[in-house]
Amino acid sequence: MNTITIGVDLAKSVFSVCEMDDSGHVLRRRDLKRDAFAAWLAQVPAGTVVAMEACSGAHH
């Protein structure tokens, strides 16, 4: 199964990431520091949906 959706919980210094398949099953969860997240996200294949929280506290 390939990852098709990535959910990201934004925080000041550590981002929680959840990778899911097309059925919504969680394939992997991880916590990444800001720099590691940027490097990891650059490796995500084109066409992958990346969903990030959108609330007033997500302005870091």
Listed by start position, the domains of the chain span: 5-52
Q: Is the pLDDT of residue 13 over 90?
A: no
Residue in 39, 57, 44, 36 with CA at minimum distance from that of residue 7: 44
pLDDT at 56: 66
Residue 4: pLDDT band (50, 70, 90) is: confident
| Helix ranges (DSSP H) in the chain | 34-42
Its pTM stands at 0.76
- The mean per-residue pLDDT over the stretch 9-29 comes to 91
